[in-house]
Amino acid sequence: MELTTIWFGLIAILWIGYFLLEGFDFGVGILMPFLGRSDAERRDVIHTIGPVWDGNEVWVLVAGGATFAAFPEWYATLFSGFYLPLFLILVALIVRGVAFEYRNKRPEPAWRRRWDAAIFFGSLLPAVLWGVAFGNIVAGVPIDAQHHFTGDLFTLLNPYALLGGLTTLALFITHGAAFLALKTEGDLRRRANALVLRAGLVAAVAAVLFLGWTEVRDGDPGSAVLALLAAGALVGGLVANRAGREALTFAGTGLAIVLAVACLFVALFPDVMPSSTDPAFSLTTTNAAATHYTLSIMTVVAVIFTPLVLLYQGWTYWVFRKRVAAGRTPTTPG
């Protein structure tokens, strides 16, 4: 197998890991002002992701770094053409991270309300914009013969990409509600469980429309199978929710996200950024790749360090696996 294909697959895995893990904490951040009916409950919501949210964000840093090193042409076109959406995502993630740390530094309700709003919008904006960005990557954008993006912001706000943003938003809210049901107690847990089904039905409709549109535009048998499996996983998660099986519910929503993102990458391959101007101008795993020597060095580094990172993150989730005790979290997040 070509190293370019291997690294396309590895980058796909990094993005899958990012959406799986960051997806539920985006969902938690979006739901926090609505499910948390008191300051104590909102603090409990934040503490469900307090030990892991920053580790989840590492996945997007590694994905971006791997793209830069393995496919520099892809990185250059993507980050120049999608500059404003990616900048907004970056600002949202920074504000969100600051809000987690500063929310409980002062006791005044107005102070906490402002940081709660920062957490909400800092979670909402990336949840939508990542879907818009990947919708455009799969569908293709105007790229000229020099691999320069020739569109503008409104080019990116097309119906297919906006549907992608709605799909990621709905999936992340469902995934976040399932996580909260798994990690909380009492009334907060019951409200989260009730929300899973309502949000999941919206996510199911959006996902079917988006993945169905993807298959009509760019699909192949492999991506079609993954799309069907993603739908099945989401339905299975909702059935488990009705049965009160919270761990299976969370597994179902997570698997749906994994399979949906995999479907997009399979539909995209062997392109990494199709050109809607002329297919001959598209960036592919071949013409966008770094040298064979660079990819070889990167492969050795990945083989050594990836298992260590996975073990460390798995250990973190194991240590913080217990439910957050209702109303008994410390005033300052850990």
Query: Per residue in 178-211, pLDDT tens?
Result: 999 999 988 999 999 999 999 999 999 999 999 9
Q: What is the mean pLDDT of residues 267-276?
A: 92
Mark 160-192 as b/e (b = at least 16 C-beta within 10 Å): bbbbbbbbbbbbbbbbbbbbbbbbbeeebbebb
Among 45-49, 177-181, 316-320, 329-333, which stretch is predicted with the lowest mean pLDDT? 329-333
Query: Per residue in 273-323, pLDDT tens?
Result: 999 999 999 999 999 999 999 999 999 998 998 888 889 888 888 888 888
| Cis before 270 (ω within 30) | yes
Query: Per residue in 168-182, pLDDT tens?
Result: 999 999 999 999 999
Measured between alpha carbons, how far is residue 262 from residues 67, 212, 218 in Å? 17, 14, 14
146: left (phi over 0), alpha (psi -120 to 50) or beta: alpha
* Dist CA 44 CA 32 (whole Å): 9
Domain residues of the chain, as ranges? 3-319
Q: By the 8 A CB rule, do 73 and 283 touch?
A: yes
Q: Please report the pLDDT score of residue 333 as a whole number.
A: 45
Q: Please report the pLDDT score of residue 51 as a whole number.
A: 86
Q: Please report the pLDDT score of residue 72 as a whole number.
A: 94
Q: By the 8 A CB rule, do 155 and 6 touch?
A: no
* Confidence band for 53, pLDDT divided at 50, 70 and 90: confident
Residue 326 has pLDDT above 50, yes or no: yes
In the chain, % of residues over pLDDT 90:
72
- CATH 3.30.565 assigned to domain 3-319? The reply is no
In the chain, % of residues over pLDDT 70:
97
Q: Please report the pLDDT score of residue 320 as a whole number.
A: 83
Mark 61-89 as b/e (b = at least 16 C-beta within 10 Å): ebbbebbebbbebbbbbbeebbeebbeeb
Residue 314 tokens, joined: 């798995």
